[in-house]
Amino acid sequence: MRAVIEGGSVPRGVVRVSGAKNSATRLLSAALLSDAPVELGNFPVSLVDVGHKARFIQDLGGLVVVNDETQTVTVEAGGLGPRILTREQFDVPIRTTYLLAASQLAREGLARVPYPGGCAIGGGPAGGRGYNLHIMVWERLGCTVTEKFDHIEVVAPGGFVGGTIDFPISTVGGTENALLCASVATGTTEIANAYITPEVEDLIELLRRMGADITIYGTSRILVEGHGGVLGGARMSVMPDRIEALTWIVYAILSGGALTIEGVPFSAMEVPLIHLEKAGIDLFRNSTSVHVTPDCLLSGQVQPFELACGTHPGVISDMQALYVLLGLVGAGTSRVYDYRYPERIAFVGELAKLVEGSFLKAEAGKITIGGSARFIPGIVDSTDLRGSMAVVVAALCAPGRSEIHNVHMALRGYDNLEGKLRALGADITIREDTPVEIGA
């Protein structure tokens, strides 16, 4: 799949931030823990990752009903079970497949889970992040885990049994998996060194609405009193996507456009916004929206900056590429460090193809960005989800025709991307599109 972009137009108009990808796909897994309907509003229904997960849920006997007009998804999982599937059906190219174990095992004491896919950020067969911590979660809750040829098999005939899970590192995915499994376990589970992001808080809120008993202590300890089986039905809206919100802000700054961005989750991105302020960007805002124009640049140009990507509430690694873009229009040299995923630098080589001159230098954990660069059209590839969006934005700012190959990477994280950009006046066409149907 590729995007053909005629860049150089100045975007104007209103864009609404969709429900967060990193929350929606997790809430979809949580909805499977009930035999009653679960309705999720503000849902990013066109995301590629959502389509893949919904397809697998339906292969297992669940029902996913999508309403494009109201942006809602209704899940009915009463018929869900660990079915024997083909190797092709187990090929689910997303990272969060492990979250599909709890719903299967809670019903029949057995789960069959596809191996995690998604962005290969580092080395190794699972992109440098692996799934060993998820195996640890299942084993600590009384399961036997077997790695099969095309899937992971998790067995606990009596269901999950509460226990203590002490993560050796902070992990979002591990925390999410532990929450799902512990909610339907028998007994009490303590989760230590949990990583509680805004998206994890969204997951906890839905689980509580479904009847789970979850208590948070401080910033990294969670206690779950297991329900001993499946939970009840609920309704909830997905939180707005903080990474998408930042993307639109950066695009407006780079392009010199005038954008009103609605549905900005300010409380979830306080530190990232502070870094924008320190870079000389004064945003016009109310409680839910920002209006970005060239007047937001106090000195007429982005000021050089240094920042380090790490864990929430700081600048998370998924935001790294957006700050690299911002540095390219700065008044001097900026530096972006990434201590959490130091190998997340492959996108820099592709982004450099859309910049005239040598303004980018990358090494493990550090990207140096020269300012006052000029964007030029070119043909580039996508390396990961956020890196793909970075080259899309650069191509939109470059006068002339560009092609972004494997742009499906960006479509994994940005709902209705082509439609939103076209509504702002951008000339973008996504070709060779083979969407995954959901709710059919």
* Long-range Cβ pairs for the range 436-439 (8 Å, 24+): 436/48, 436/51, 436/52, 436/54, 436/55, 437/51, 437/55, 438/45, 438/50, 438/51, 438/54, 438/55, 438/64, 438/66, 439/54, 439/64, 439/65, 439/66, 439/73
- What is the spatial distance between Cα 328 and Cα 307, in angstroms, rounded to a whole number? 14
- SS3 per residue for the chain: CEEEEEECCCCEEEEECCECHHHHHHHHHHHCCECCCEEEECCCCCCHHHHHHHHHHHHCCCEEEEECCCCEEEEECCCCCCCCCCCCCCCCCCCCHHHHHHHHHHHHCEEEECCCCCCCCCCCCCCCCCCHHHHHHHHHCCCEEEECCCCEEEECCCCCECCEEECCCCCHHHHHHHHHHHHCCECEEEEECCCCCHHHHHHHHHHHHCCCEEEEECCCEEEEECCCCCECCEEEECCECHHHHHHHHHHHHHHCCEEEEECCCHHHCHHHHHHHHHCCECCEECCCEEEECHHHECCCCECCCEEEEECCCCEEHHHHHHHHHHHHCECCCEEEEECCCCCCCHHHHHHHCCEECCCEEEECCEEEECCCCEECCCEEECCCHHHHHHHHHHHHHCCEEEEEECCHHHHCCCCCHHHHHHHCCCEEEEECCCCCCCCC
134: CB partners within 8 A, 6+ apart: 98, 101, 173, 174, 177
Task: Locate 157 and state its tokens.
Answer: 């005939």
Instruction: Determine which one of 119, 143, 309, 397 is catalytic.
Output: 119
Query: Does the annotation count 119 as an active-site position?
Result: yes
- What is the spatial distance between Cα 42 and Cα 1, in angstroms, rounded to a whole number? 27
Residues that are catalytic: 119
